[in-house]
Structure formats: structure tokens, C-alpha cells
């Protein structure tokens, strides 16, 4: 069972920056892709970014393009999310997720296609 542990959340003023990290442990060789999602109070879990291990392709939600960057250090089994120009609407619990090598079709944009989840880290952006 892959385990994911996030770190790096906190409180920042609008316009500021934060970086999140997610360390994977366990049978990590099975991981096909990793992603970040977020969930604000009363809202559904929302795709933020993903990165495929197989070809390095990354993808982003339109709302974060140009402000957030996902990166991986496969030697450390770690995925990062660098966030700049943060806005109050970015306030949410941010979750790291990992997808095993898929046995059926699906989408990295959809939270329930992922196999493993971290516990989440709070990001709060004040205006």
C-alpha cells in the first residue's frame, strides 16, 4: 500500500507564495502518475495538477495555469506543488494523490480514479 504524506501548507497573504511537498512510501514503483487536488469548505474536491511518471507530462486546471507548478523528484518519491500569486479563492485543503499503473481507462482530472491519498494540508490565503 502506497502511503502519501503532504507538508508545506500554511497561511499566506494574497499575492504570496507557498510550496507543498508530498512524499510517497511503500510500493512506489507501481505509481503511474501523481496529482494534487483541493477542497474548499462546502465544495467538491477539485483537480489542481497532475504529472505522469511515464512521460513527464503535466497538466493543470485552468484556474491555476501560470501560477502553480507541479514537479517531481522520482529519486526521492516526492512531488511538489509550487504556488505563486495566491488568491483567497485558492484557500482549501490540498490533497496529494497517486495512481497505480492503470488497468482500465480513466482520467487524471477525476479524483476517484486515483488509488491513494494523503491526509491533506491546509492552505489559507488572506485578502
Burial 32-42 (b: 16+ CB within 10 A, else e): ebbbbbbeeee
pLDDT exceeds cutoff 90 at 103 = no
Percent of the chain with pLDDT over 90: 88
Question: pLDDT (tens digit, 9 = 90+) per residue, 48-93?
Answer: 999 998 888 999 999 999 999 999 999 999 999 999 999 999 999 9
What per-residue confidence (pLDDT) applies to 105?
83
**Mean pLDDT over each residue of the chain, to the nearest integer:** 95
Q: Which residues contact 4 (CB under 8 A, 6 or more apart)?
A: 22, 23, 24, 96, 97, 98, 116, 117, 118
Query: Greater confidence, 111 or 93?
Result: 93
pLDDT exceeds cutoff 90 at 38 = yes
Question: pLDDT (tens digit, 9 = 90+) per residue, 1-17?
Answer: 999 999 999 999 999 99
Here the cell at position 51 is 504529472
Amino acid at each position: 500500500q502506497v502511503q502519501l504524506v503532504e507538508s508545506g501548507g500554511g497561511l499566506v497573504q494574497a499575492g504570496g507564495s507557498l510550496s507543498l511537498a508530498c512524499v510517497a512510501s511503500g510500493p512506489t514503483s507501481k505509481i503511474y502518475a501523481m496529482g494534487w487536488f483541493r477542497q474548499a469548505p462546502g465544495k467538491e474536491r477539485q483537480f489542481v495538477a497532475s504529472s505522469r511518471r511515464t512521460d513527464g507530462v503535466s497538466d493543470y486546471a485552468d484556474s491555476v495555469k501560470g501560477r502553480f507548478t507541479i514537479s517531481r523528484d522520482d529519486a526521492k518519491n516526492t512531488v511538489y506543488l509550487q504556488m505563486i500569486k495566491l488568491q483567497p479563492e485558492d484557500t482549501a485543503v490540498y490533497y496529494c494523490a497517486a495512481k497505480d499503473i492503470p488497468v482500465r481507462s480513466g482520467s487524471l482530472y477525476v479524483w476517484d480514479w486515483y488509488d491513494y491519498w494523503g491526509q491533506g494540508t491546509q492552505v489559507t490565503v488572506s485578502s
